[in-house]
Structure 1
Amino acid sequence: MNSGHDDGTPLVELRNACFSYPGVEGDPPHEVLRGFDMVLDRGESVALLGPNGSGKTTIMRILNGLEFLSAGEYRFDGNRITRDALADKRFAKRLHQRIGFVFQNSETQLFCPSVAEEIAFGPAQMGLPDEEIHRRTNDILRLFELERFAERAPYRLSGGEKKRVAIACCMSLNPDLLVLDEPTDGLDERNTALVVRVLNQFVAAGKSILVSTHHHDIVEALHSRRIPVHPIE
């Protein structure tokens, strides 16, 4: 996989992307995307906007290598992402280090005994030195104002706190792209402001975010370029 240097190549390219989910019990396949195009550059904030069922979450799953196009092309940093490409474990590991994915239901991402261990898990899997893991963990705890929860079990947190931890875990990997499905769902006004502030700092540092949200005030606060996603009729 390319090193991530900015040579003018878009960070993400979807060209003529098509995707269908298999039919259930003899039903025909359920077509979700047909001829969808999207380009996302480094240092860019982009929002996918569309009604439920239009394919926004599917697009995010494709970018993270959880689903694969039935036609068209997906490139990340110039590399074509396919089922065969991700069968190479080293290639797949590198891709998943460079793309962080925060699910709408953040509880599915949390499984460690404490918040600090959750945040440290990704850097540890990357094989970073203990000193760097410790530094990243403490920096992220401070950034998300989670210090007082460091030793608390994630299951004992509120829904909004779990969301902050899930975003913090992805950011501890220092990815090039952060993909967030409804990132402010379940957050009160104060926590929403904190998450927006951190995401804007992330983009200002030259990183990219892709969000799916129904909250247009969040799109405004993140200064996101809008990409409409239309249901297939």
Structure 2
Amino acid sequence: MTSAYVLIAAVLVLGALLAVAGDRIGTKVGKARLRIFNLRPRNSATLITILTGTVIAASTLGILFATSKSLRQGIFRLDDILDQLRTAQAELNSLSTEKAQVEQSLDRVSQEKRSVERGLDQVQIRYQKATEQAKQLQGEINKLRQQRETLLQQIPQLQAQVRQRDRRIAEQGRSLREQQGRLSQLRVQRNELELQRNTLSQLRDRLQSQRNQLKEDIRQRDDKIRKLDDTINQSEVALQEKEE
């Protein structure tokens, strides 16, 4: 900032000195009634003033171009800078659109993940209930088997009650078969639930991987957007310096 003030002051001082010098030269030419290029003295003084103004403008531009690289680039590369700015803006708009699409995809995947997790929780609850029921049925079966064994052992000693015992055994056998049938069904159901749980777990892992990949894509696009923002800011600074 200090160098800019010094440059402006130097340009003003140089312009003032050249203006004073041109005025004095024009005055002397007018008083001496000198002729330049066979012009009248008044026209010669006017020519001196014009040349002085031209020298002031040329020296000012020369100093500015010599000391400010950004100004030179702003003057001679203005069209290129504007083209780059428009291209960068178009890319920024395209990336912003892609980012919005990726974020929508991420939201959709997150919703699917939550839905799958809820389904997995429900399957887990059903699996736990089925496991508990299977344990209960297995305990009942074990008790029935023990009772059956006890009754079979008592048959030789309780000949009078053989028929009654046989009926009870038959009933308990039917109950045992029913319980075993229910146990088999529960085992099949448990296997199906385990298969569903494994499938849902794989789906959840795949959705988590997709979610992580989408986050990485967003991060890469954000980095590219920040770079484009830096390019746009540099272009805008160059345009502002040119306008100043």
Q: Given the two structures, how large is their TM-score scaled by the length of structure 2?
A: 0.17
Which of the pair is proportionally richer in helix?
2
Higher strand proportion (structure 1 or 2): 1
TM-score (norm 1): 0.17
- Higher radius of gyration, 1 or 2: 2
